[in-house]
Structure 1
Amino acid sequence: MTTEPRSSLEVERKYDVDADTPVPDWAALPGVATVGEPEPRELDARYLDTPDGRLAEALTALRRRTGGPDEGWHIKRSTPEGKLETQWPLDDGGSDDALEVPGPVLEALAEISDPPFEVVARIRNSRTAYALRDADGGLIAEFVDDRVTAVDERTGRSSSWREWEIELGPAAPPRATDIAELFATADELVQSAGGRPAASESKLARALGL
């Protein structure tokens, strides 16, 4: 496994929507000139934690996900600015059964907890992604339409839902006031379509009934 991970700060907005809620015209967002073609992605993630939930207590999530452009091992930490994600690539060809946490990932978690880690949830997601670009082709944000099926591995409880996310991209406006305007417009578009702010801050929280 490559020991040098990639890190990024996710700044996003999440919404709960019904199965038949129509997708808004995201070209109405400030600065968005074009909406890309839909890109389907099939994602399958296993989330791990210690038996006593130490990662959750530290507002940290550990997952191994296959599918999509960023498949791999991910650590997500909640911060006031957004979710800080650190990612390592898969080193086993993407086998679903390879759930032993790699050494570099364990090292990154050592300040929070030592092993053992066990699977607490499995989340499958049929995602459709759209690139929202400015007039120069820069990625202002990515919109994803997610149809999720989850299993709480601790209890066997299954659940399914549909949600939307808008995550800022490299060409997002630099000023906080402009970002606030973009998200406020997104809120209005979602509300007009029949959606609402997400009740859970993450798919994992919803899968575990939190």
Structure 2
Amino acid sequence: MSDPSHSVEVERKYDVDEDTPLPDWMRLPGVASIGEAELRPLDAQYFDTVDLALARQAIALRRRTGGPDEGWHVKTSAADGRHEWHWPLDAPVSGDQDVPDGVVKALARYAQPPFLPLARLHNPRHAYALRDETGALVAEVVDDRVRGRAERTGHEDSWREWEVELGPAAPDDHTAFFAAVDELVLAAGGRHAASDSKLQRILAC
């Protein structure tokens, strides 16, 4: 069994209205070009134990299709950003469980199966690559229009949000870069996100 891939996401999230126009991302430090919108029809299913052992430890277990990183994900929060471990959709599964063996093993210190459906989010995402003069990725901006359902309560909600995630060519001063993002987004009519994650928002009912 191969080890999962690992990445650290450093990002900022914003709530926006349905008709809020995208700002001019070219005004951000180091950005020289903006790629064409890439549509990603994301479908994410979240799982947890009966007693929400993962949610109580701020851990998310997700199976997602429709994007370049589709697969199984485990996400945790740390001071340097959101840590994410990724397994492919066809990762080996044993017995009658739905979650791959490697994921179950990685979560063993936090919780034991069964992991049952918790929430489902459908999200037609438009992603934009912000690049510097050499073509390197400064940041990725995504425009999300989310429809979600909390499987255990039946609560449904829909909303729009933007995420700005740093890329390999992001400026060294992340604080200054995100300050510029804040200024641009707030001027366009956006607001700092009320929830840290989509899962947290759909469960807040």
Does the alignment reach a TM-score above 0.5? yes
Where does residue 32 of structure 2 map in the other structure? 33
Question: Is the 1:64–1:99 contact (alpha carbons within 8 Å) kept by the matching residues of 2?
Answer: no
Normalized against structure 2, the TM-score is what?
Answer: 0.95
Counterpart-to-counterpart distance in 1, 2:110 and 2:175: 33
List aligned pairs for 1:27-176, cutoff 5 A. Answer: 27-91=26-90, 100-174=98-172
Q: Which amino acid aligns with 1:172?
A: A
Counterpart-to-counterpart distance in 1, 2:12 and 2:78: 15
Where does residue 23 of structure 1 map in the other structure? 22
Normalized against structure 1, the TM-score is what?
Answer: 0.93
**Structure 2 counterpart SS, 1:16:** strand
Q: Which amino acid aligns with 1:189?
A: L
- Percent sequence identity is 60
Unaligned stretches of 5+ in structure 2? none
Unaligned stretches of 5+ in structure 1? 93-97
* Larger CA deviation: 165-174 vs 61-70: 165-174
Say if 2:186 is the partner of 1:206: no
**Structure 1 counterpart SS, 2:187:** helix
Counterpart-to-counterpart distance in 2, 1:146 and 1:40: 10
Counterpart-to-counterpart distance in 2, 1:111 and 1:3: 20
CA deviations on 1:109-152 (whole Å, 9 max, x unpaired) are 00101101111100110100000001111101100000000001
State the shift of 1:99 in Å.
7.5
CA deviations on 1:90-115 (whole Å, 9 max, x unpaired) are 118xxxxx970010010000010110
